[in-house]
Amino acid sequence: MWLAANAPDRIDRLVLCCTAARMMRPEEFATRAETVRRQGMAAVADAVIGRWFTPDFATTHPQTVASIRATLLATPAEGYAGACEALAAMDLRGDLRSIKARTLVVSGAQDQSTPTQQSREIAKAIPGAELVVVPQAAHLANVEQADRVSEEIVRHLLAS
């Protein structure tokens, strides 16, 4: 979003997937950063994974969820904490109207991390943006509904 707003000549098409211009509860990210620094990634892994996938997907695709959980656990605590602090400080809402690229905003209908309302706000603020809400998907909609998300992205990128 920042790059599209501040270097519009570099971005022709933009896809924003399961994201926000500002996190709903930024103070929680600062707390999470502190927790990870003190206790490691295992202290937050279950809560994070619980927001990233719908319960149905977690039940029917345990190996996929376990693989992503393992990747999360392997993330260096300091890197994750730094990302949390960056998310806590991020506020791109004022930049959205400056985005000129043809934009697709994708939201998982059950995304707890960046709920659909935030995607609606992004799509409303970016001139001409299109919103697609993917059913039966949470924050990692591109994993849960890979075919649907890929189809939407390809359609958007190839549209004239």
pLDDT tens digits along 21-59: 999 999 999 999 999 999 999 999 999 999 999 999 999
pLDDT for 28 equals 93
Report residue 41: phi and psi, to 5°: -70, -30
Give residue 96's domain range. Answer: 1-21+92-160
- Residue range 90-145, pLDDT digits in tens: 999 999 999 999 999 999 999 999 999 999 999 999 999 999 999 999 999 999 99
Give yes or no: residues 72 and 130 share one domain.
no
Give yes or no: residues 119 and 68 share one domain.
no
Give yes or no: residues 77 and 32 share one domain.
yes
- Longest CA–CA separation in the chain, Å: 51
Q: Which candidate, 53, 72, 65, 55, places its Cα nearest to that of 138? A: 53
pLDDT for 27 equals 92
Domain-ending residue, one of 67, 90, 113? 90
Give yes or no: residues 96 and 86 share one domain.
no
Q: Which candidate, 101, 145, 120, 130, places its Cα nearest to that of 20? A: 120
How many angstroms separate the CA atoms of 84 and 90, rounded? 10
Q: Is the pLDDT of residue 160 over 90?
A: no
Domain-ending residue, one of 73, 90, 107? 90
Say if residues 136 and 154 touch (Cβ distance below 8 Å). no
Residues 6+ apart with CB under 8 A from 24: 115, 118
Q: What is the dihedral of CA 142, 139, 17, 145, to 10 degrees?
A: 30
pTM above 0.85, yes or no: yes
Domain-ending residue, one of 90, 106, 126? 90
Give yes or no: residues 101 and 52 share one domain.
no
Average pLDDT value over all residues in the chain: 97
How many angstroms separate the CA atoms of 24 and 121, rounded? 12
Give yes or no: residues 132 and 103 share one domain.
yes
pLDDT for 128 equals 97
Distance of alpha carbon 145 from the chain centroid: 14
Give yes or no: residues 153 and 119 share one domain.
yes
